[in-house]
Chains A and B, each alone.
Chain A
């Protein structure tokens, strides 16, 4: 955008001649004033990272830049650098929505402006945890799945994830934690749409010659396992295949992390099944053992191997808790 003071001078002179202005003056002096203009790049921006940069260039040197956001509640803008010929500004997301970022360039009392449309996308981070397990299974974890899920929530918000591959969160992202009892429950949570990240904490297994499963519900009841394993004729339909998961609920580059026993171990793991179904990157532990819970962040982040003391630790109630494999150094495998 630009303005031309020469045209203004002519207009003022005309007004004066017709009595709309002040005293009649001599005719205008036709001087050529260089036009002022400013450009910004990019002109549209999808803001899917903690900060991005807009660059403005004014065509006349020596001016000053100022930046504003039409919706600071969606995206903020802060000038990060300026010199006589250009300026950079940092834009940061606040909530999902659209904001027009305007840069104004001023030289000698004249100014020009340009805009960039910034879109902060809707992204849902969904953390779910399964039922704790019955006492008679010997695998009742009480509230520990919930505690591990809450710790994950805290670490996602602080952008201190326990493993590589977990996406960074933005202030504009929505992060939820909830219990699920069935595969249908999981599908219901996914129906929020725009799922950018899914994490599961719960029981799971895989074994040689079989196919893996998420044992979401603690009872052998209908729809309680996510697996391609077929149901035994005459038995309850406990197994629901990953084809029940709605691919359309996920953003194209969504990531899934499975915190459970053998989720990516062996052949036919549940991580592989979900990847095959959804075409998304799915991570799971590929350690061969079961799981334990730990209060040690280094272990929870895969920074060391499990010790016998970790395996027999009982004081793991309350506070931050991580769910890690029973043996070795916690290691994720992705499909």
Chain B
């Protein structure tokens, strides 16, 4: 997962979209030019979450999958679109200890972007039941009735309080 040979694999999907999308916009701030994706671009990039094939096994490490990296580099612009996917229980291509649904991937990427102090309920409205003391607690919770919806509610509140759309620093990596 280390990206030492290339500091970051170019998120081709993101660059391609930025280059071709008329929805990307530019901001001039005190002589400093920054380019941020528009909401529609962010949505389109997040909608390709199903192309993600792998996730780093460890919190805080840079994403190595180009599609995952493209989403994380959207920063908080991706937040609302990822939150909308939290209830998506359809399968993804990622498997690490358990088979990730699209909603699980969305949660992982939200966590990478926002780095909340409380997980998986960032607004601290709830806690996972501690039956196993490991990942199985999460898996059992999201498979319980209404589990994913509770997560979505918590993240909606959290992002509303945070203020969506502000860019966040990309995760440093190796």
Q: Which residues of A contact B (CB under 8 A)?
A: 132-144, 203-207, 209-213, 215, 218-220, 225, 227-232, 234-236, 238-239, 261, 268, 289-292, 311-312, 314, 317, 326-327
Contacts and interface: CB of A to CB of B under 8 A. Distances in A.
A256 B96 CA distance: 23
Interface in B74-100: 94-99
15 contacts: A133-B57, A138-B104, A138-B135, A140-B135, A142-B133, A205-B64, A209-B6, A210-B2, A210-B4, A215-B58, A234-B172, A235-B172, A235-B173, A290-B57, A312-B99
B58 to A, nearest CB: 4
Interface of B: 1-7, 9, 54-62, 64-65, 94-99, 104, 107-108, 111, 116, 119-120, 128, 132-136, 138-140, 172-174
A207 B1 contact: yes
Contacts of B120: 135-136
Main SS of chain B's interface residues? loop
Given A143-B133, A268-B5, A215 B61 contact: yes
A133 B138 CA distance: 14
The listed residue with most A CB atoms (<10 A of its CB), out of B95, B99, B104, B116, is B95
Nearest to A225: B174
The listed residue with most A CB atoms (<10 A of its CB), out of B1, B61, B172, is B1
Nearest to B62: A232
A311 B2 contact: no
Given A144-B134, A228-B4, A239-B2, A139 B172 contact: no
A133 B3 CA distance: 20
Contact of B5 (A139, A144, A210): A210
A232 B60 CA distance: 13
Contacts of A234: 172
